[in-house]
Amino acid sequence: MYVSRNDEPTTAHASAASSCGCSTQASPPSPAPAAEDARLHERLAQIDHKVVVLSGKGGVGKSTVAVNVAVALASQGFTVGLLDIDLHGPSVPLMLGLEDAQPTNHEGALVPLEFATNLKVMSIGFLLPSRSDPVIWRGPLKHSLIKQFLSDVEWGQLDYLIVDAPPGTGDEPLSVIQLLGNLDGALLVTTPQEVALSDVRKCVRFCGEVNCPVLGIIENMSGLVCPHCGETIDVFRRGGGASLARQMGVPFLGEIPLDPALVRAADAGKPYMTAYANSATAQAFRQAIKPLLAQAKQGGSQG
Ligand SMILES: Nc1ncnc2c1ncn2[C@@H]1O[C@H](COP(=O)(O)OP(=O)(O)OP(=O)(O)O)[C@@H](O)[C@H]1O
Ligand SMILES: [Mg+2]
Ligand SMILES: [Zn+2]
């Protein structure tokens, strides 16, 4: 493991073998950069489609979208990996009830957890010293940690890798996008408020600068599903995401309402998509994955 639970996160090149519960293995030395690059390339070559979930701003529902998109794809029979690479607030383990899980080690590689036979999950949160304390990382350390993490996770063959990226357009999403290389593209999550919309504008430009195609914009927390009657009530002005998408010339993938059941599902560690498969919100997630399915139909590996 990168850092043991009780240690300061002072090195990104500590072994990945020390706090997985496997006490028989000595830590291998830090990988040489070239060997790490080769491993990263080899692992990513087994993944047909790579999609990153981004937002210009924190707290707009990236992790919620990443989890439910991954579950929606898995429920269509695809083999899916869900990767949470948010160093500061990894929330995928919580949302899937995996907060006490420990990934195992296989010949020095990290083996993802199997949430379902065709849904594998890996979170950088599994490896952080304490899941409740925010961790302060220095910039270059973050990049090498993300790189080591990406090259150490043994996904095997995947149809889709869905990546829950850190918020914003800073160094971390940049590292993730550069290291993954050859992405199918990004799903951009926004909320109806104007500030989040201007942040997503920045995010679209960022994608342009790093040559990451924009698969589309999802407007989350768009209207409120009444817990009594199930009708959707407008809370904030809706439709901003759609008009922004038009302005920026990128696809609009739909609105996901504020749904108390989403919070309940996340708090209970159950994916919403399976717990409430027939709801309008689940339908909205299924709508949002259409461009991903279209990528699969076009066929061929992205490398
Ligand atoms: N459509 C929704 N309806 C109700 N609650 C939602 C919805 N989307 C997200 N939430 C809730 O809002 C909170 C923030 O969502 P989430 O963690 O997915 O955002 P995020 O963009 O990943 O945040 P961060 O930037 O911190 O990583 C969570 O408690 C989540 O359950
Ligand atoms: Mg998140
Ligand atoms: Zn009502």
CA 226 to ligand 1 center in whole angstroms: 18
Taking alpha carbons only, the member of 11, 6, 30 closest to residue 151 is 30
Given pLDDT bands bounded at 50, 70 and 90, which one contains residue 21?
very low
> Of 99-103, 108-112, 242-246, which range is least confident?
99-103
pLDDT on residue 131:
54
Return d(Cα 258, Cα 221) in angstroms, integer: 4
Does 300 have pLDDT greater than 60? no
Mean pLDDT of 15-29: 39
Mean pLDDT of 99-124: 91
Reading the block at residue 294, the tokens are 């279209």
CA 94 to ligand 3 center in whole angstroms: 29
Ion ligand 3: protein residues whose beta carbon lies under 5 Å: 226, 228-229
- Ligand 1 atom at minimal distance to the Cα of residue 58: 25
Q: How many helices (H) and strands (E) does the chain have?
A: 11, 11
pTM across the whole model: 0.86
Taking alpha carbons only, the member of 97, 93, 170, 173 closest to residue 125 is 93
Give strand pairing partners of 188: 54, 217
Ion ligand 2: protein residues whose beta carbon lies under 5 Å: 62-63, 91
Mean pLDDT of 126-132: 69
Mean pLDDT, the chain, as a whole number?
A: 83
Half-sphere exposure of residue 149: CA atoms within 13 angstroms, side-chain side: 30
Strand, helix or coil for residue 225: strand
Mean pLDDT of 245-263: 92
Does 15 have pLDDT greater than 60? no
- Ligand 1 atom at minimal distance to the Cα of residue 257: 1
Which has more confidence, 297 or 112? 112
Ligand 1: residue whose CA is nearest its atom 18: 61
DSSP 153-221: B---SEEEEEEEPPSSSSHHHHHHHHHH-S-SEEEEEE-SSHHHHHHHHHHHHHHHHTT--EEEEEEEE
Strand, helix or coil for residue 253: strand
What would the pLDDT profile of 152-202 be if each residue is shown by its tens digit? 999 999 999 999 988 888 888 899 999 998 899 999 999 988 777 888 899
Distances (CA, A) of 239 to 46, 191, 284, 285: 38, 10, 15, 17
User: Which of 57, 63, 264 is the best mutation target for the ligand 1 pocket, counting ligand atoms within 8 Å of the beta carbon and taking the most?
Assistant: 63
